[in-house]
Amino acid sequence: MTDKNTVFHEKKTINAGGRLLDLSSPCVMGILNITPDSFYPGSRTASADEALRHAGKMLAEGAGILDIGAYSSRPGAADISEQEEQSRLLPVIKALAREFPEAVLSVDTFRAGVAEAAVAEGAHIINDISGGQLDDAMFPAIARLKVPYILMHMRGTPQTMTSQNRYDNILPDILKYFSEKLAELRALHVHDIIIDPGFGFAKDAAQNLFLLNHAEQFKLLGLPVLAGLSRKKTIWQTLGTTSDEALNGTTVLNTVALLKGADILRVHDVKEAAEAVKLITALKSTSPANCG
């Protein structure tokens, strides 16, 4: 799908705390989990110092955004209080903002209170797995904070979502969900929005692969699209391996996502994702005129 045969204008810039995030070339978002139980052990950090070291490595490898989460959203993860989430998260946000003042910081939370506290400490983007469904105060908070919002599709909660993957027609159902949520956000004058289809959230492996195979349809919404496929069960279950062995499979599916128009890759392994972006960007830029 190219600009000349679409009937909408696709938004390619996001204002993140006064920083203009240009998504005309795809961006890599590095995952930084301040949790003891995220599904991939390699993403877990136990202290602010460890988080700083991991963040510095990801930024050096080409991360354009760091996504920091203190609440594990893996299927069946234990629920924690808002107070515990903030106590894990806020010291790390404060340290990252001090140590890497040019970095764009995203916070992975579905709680409006956590979002507000994180922005006060220096966060620039809110990444909400629930699309505002787990906290009615989230959309008004985003409107007040005037920060970019990542709107993801999910059903239920991390504790219940695996049982909520029955759809009448999955692609139209999810597009309808996004259309309705976007209308709510725009009524509140929220316009810096990124779409995330929610791979792995209330979707089984076959559904995830189907959505990826048709991911260009999400471009019809005219907004940047984030693909979060990194080391997820769809990959290692299909290959008969584990999350530890899912890097190659992640790179394969990230490459497909880029070819389908993804603007942001949310990943555990920044170097490999940045290389995929570089190669796909070069591939798309080739023409008979510069091929000799």
For residue 35, give the CATH number of its domain: 3.20.20.20
Distance CA(114)–CA(148), nearest Å, equals 15
Question: What pLDDT shows up at residue 78?
Answer: 77
Establish if 43 belongs to a structural domain.
yes
16, part of any domain = no
**Catalytic option among 266, 271, 278, 284:** 266
Work out the pLDDT band at 290, boundaries 50, 70, 90: low
Query: Are 112 and 135 spatial neighbours (Cβ–Cβ below 8 Å)?
Result: yes
Can 88 be counted among the known catalytic residues? no
More confident residue, 195 or 8: 195
Angle at 10 between CA 257 and CA 106, to 5 degrees: 65
Instruction: Confirm whether 213 is domain-assigned.
Output: yes
Q: Is-catalytic flag, 186?
A: no
Range of the domain at 186: 26-283
In a domain, 154, yes or no: yes
Residue 66 lies in a domain: yes
Question: If residue 193 lies in a helix (H) or strand (E), which one and from where to where?
Answer: strand 193-196
For residue 288, the model assigns a pLDDT of 63
Residue 287: predicted pLDDT:
63
Q: For the chain, what is the domain count?
A: 1
Mean of the pLDDT values across residues 173-192?
Answer: 97
Q: Which of 88, 232, 233, 260 is catalytic?
A: 232
Mean pLDDT over the full length of the chain? 90
**Does 158 map to a domain?**
yes
Specify the pLDDT at position 1. Answer: 39
pLDDT score of 122: 96
In a domain, 13, yes or no: no
Judge contact between 94 and 120, C-beta under 8 A: no
Query: Is the pLDDT confidence value at 177 over 90?
Result: yes
Query: 50: pLDDT confidence band, cut at 50, 70 and 90?
Result: confident
For range 14-38, the mean pLDDT: 87
Residue 18 lies in a domain: no
